[in-house]
Amino acid sequence: MDVTDTAAVRARLEAALAELDAGDDRGQSGQETVALDQQAMGRLSRQDALLSQSMARATQARRDAERRRLTAALARLEEGEYGYCEDCGEPIAPKRLDLDPAATRCVSCAAG
Protein backbone atom coordinates (compact mmCIF):
# COMPACT_ATOMS: atom_id res chain seq x y z
CA MET A 1 0.00 0.00 0.00
CA ASP A 2 1.57 3.30 -1.02
CA VAL A 3 1.65 6.53 0.98
CA THR A 4 -1.31 8.07 -0.88
CA ASP A 5 -3.47 5.04 -0.14
CA THR A 6 -2.35 5.03 3.47
CA ALA A 7 -3.27 8.69 3.88
CA ALA A 8 -6.69 8.12 2.28
CA VAL A 9 -7.41 5.11 4.51
CA ARG A 10 -6.27 7.02 7.61
CA ALA A 11 -8.53 9.95 6.69
CA ARG A 12 -11.47 7.62 6.15
CA LEU A 13 -10.93 5.82 9.48
CA GLU A 14 -10.52 9.11 11.35
CA ALA A 15 -13.68 10.50 9.72
CA ALA A 16 -15.59 7.42 10.86
CA LEU A 17 -14.26 7.90 14.40
CA ALA A 18 -15.32 11.56 14.32
CA GLU A 19 -18.80 10.49 13.24
CA LEU A 20 -18.97 8.12 16.21
CA ASP A 21 -17.92 10.94 18.54
CA ALA A 22 -20.70 13.11 17.12
CA GLY A 23 -23.15 10.28 17.72
CA ASP A 24 -21.95 10.04 21.32
CA ASP A 25 -22.72 13.70 21.83
CA ARG A 26 -26.23 13.28 20.41
CA GLY A 27 -26.95 10.09 22.36
CA GLN A 28 -25.96 11.25 25.85
CA SER A 29 -29.37 12.69 26.75
CA GLY A 30 -31.13 9.40 25.97
CA GLN A 31 -28.98 7.54 28.50
CA GLU A 32 -29.78 9.75 31.47
CA THR A 33 -31.49 8.24 34.51
CA VAL A 34 -35.28 8.09 34.26
CA ALA A 35 -37.01 9.82 37.18
CA LEU A 36 -39.25 7.69 39.43
CA ASP A 37 -41.74 10.49 40.09
CA GLN A 38 -45.13 8.93 39.21
CA GLN A 39 -46.82 12.32 39.67
CA ALA A 40 -44.76 13.98 36.95
CA MET A 41 -44.83 11.04 34.55
CA GLY A 42 -47.45 8.34 34.05
CA ARG A 43 -46.61 4.67 34.22
CA LEU A 44 -46.73 4.13 30.44
CA SER A 45 -44.71 7.27 29.78
CA ARG A 46 -42.11 6.03 32.24
CA GLN A 47 -42.00 2.65 30.48
CA ASP A 48 -41.48 4.44 27.18
CA ALA A 49 -38.69 6.47 28.74
CA LEU A 50 -37.06 3.31 30.12
CA LEU A 51 -37.31 1.64 26.71
CA SER A 52 -35.75 4.70 25.06
CA GLN A 53 -32.98 4.67 27.64
CA SER A 54 -32.32 0.98 26.98
CA MET A 55 -32.17 1.57 23.22
CA ALA A 56 -29.81 4.52 23.71
CA ARG A 57 -27.49 2.35 25.80
CA ALA A 58 -27.54 -0.43 23.20
CA THR A 59 -26.73 2.09 20.48
CA GLN A 60 -23.86 3.40 22.59
CA ALA A 61 -22.52 -0.15 23.02
CA ARG A 62 -22.58 -0.63 19.23
CA ARG A 63 -20.75 2.69 18.75
CA ASP A 64 -18.14 1.64 21.32
CA ALA A 65 -17.57 -1.69 19.53
CA GLU A 66 -17.23 0.09 16.18
CA ARG A 67 -14.81 2.59 17.76
CA ARG A 68 -12.63 -0.31 18.96
CA ARG A 69 -12.64 -1.82 15.43
CA LEU A 70 -11.68 1.50 13.83
CA THR A 71 -8.97 2.19 16.41
CA ALA A 72 -7.54 -1.30 15.84
CA ALA A 73 -7.55 -0.65 12.07
CA LEU A 74 -5.59 2.57 12.62
CA ALA A 75 -3.10 0.63 14.75
CA ARG A 76 -2.71 -1.99 11.99
CA LEU A 77 -2.17 0.82 9.51
CA GLU A 78 0.63 2.26 11.68
CA GLU A 79 2.24 -1.18 12.02
CA GLY A 80 2.07 -1.86 8.28
CA GLU A 81 -0.31 -4.78 8.78
CA TYR A 82 -3.43 -3.09 7.42
CA GLY A 83 -5.17 -4.89 4.58
CA TYR A 84 -3.95 -8.38 5.44
CA CYS A 85 -6.18 -11.15 6.79
CA GLU A 86 -5.54 -11.90 10.45
CA ASP A 87 -6.26 -15.61 9.86
CA CYS A 88 -4.45 -16.55 6.65
CA GLY A 89 -2.19 -13.52 6.11
CA GLU A 90 -3.36 -12.99 2.52
CA PRO A 91 -4.30 -9.49 1.29
CA ILE A 92 -7.91 -8.49 1.87
CA ALA A 93 -9.68 -7.54 -1.37
CA PRO A 94 -9.71 -3.75 -1.93
CA LYS A 95 -13.47 -3.79 -2.53
CA ARG A 96 -13.98 -5.44 0.86
CA LEU A 97 -11.88 -2.74 2.50
CA ASP A 98 -13.89 -0.10 0.62
CA LEU A 99 -17.06 -1.52 2.14
CA ASP A 100 -15.57 -1.99 5.60
CA PRO A 101 -12.23 -0.24 6.18
CA ALA A 102 -11.90 -1.98 9.57
CA ALA A 103 -12.23 -5.51 8.11
CA THR A 104 -9.72 -7.92 9.62
CA ARG A 105 -10.41 -11.02 7.55
CA CYS A 106 -10.58 -11.88 3.86
CA VAL A 107 -13.85 -13.09 2.37
CA SER A 108 -12.76 -16.75 2.46
CA CYS A 109 -11.81 -16.69 6.14
CA ALA A 110 -14.84 -14.60 7.11
CA ALA A 111 -17.18 -17.07 5.40
CA GLY A 112 -15.56 -20.13 6.95
- pTM of the predicted protein model: 0.76
- d(CA 84, CA 106) in angstroms, rounded, equals 8
pLDDT tops 60 at residue 38: no
CA dist., res. 35 & res. 79, Å (int): 48
Per cent of the chain over pLDDT 90 is 59
Residue 29 predicted with pLDDT over 60: no
Q: Is the pLDDT of residue 100 over 90?
A: yes
Whole-angstrom distance, CA of residue 104 vs CA of residue 91 = 10
pLDDT in tens, 51-90: 888 898 899 999 999 999 999 999 999 999 999 999 999 9
Comparison of pLDDT for 31 and 74, the residue scoring more: 74
What's the pLDDT score for residue 39?
55
Q: Which of 105, 101, 107 is nearest to 8 (CA)?
A: 101
Q: Which residue has the higher pLDDT, 50 or 2?
A: 50
Instruction: Pick the more confident residue, 84 or 4.
Output: 84
pLDDT above 80 for 43 = no
Q: How many residues belong to the chain? A: 112
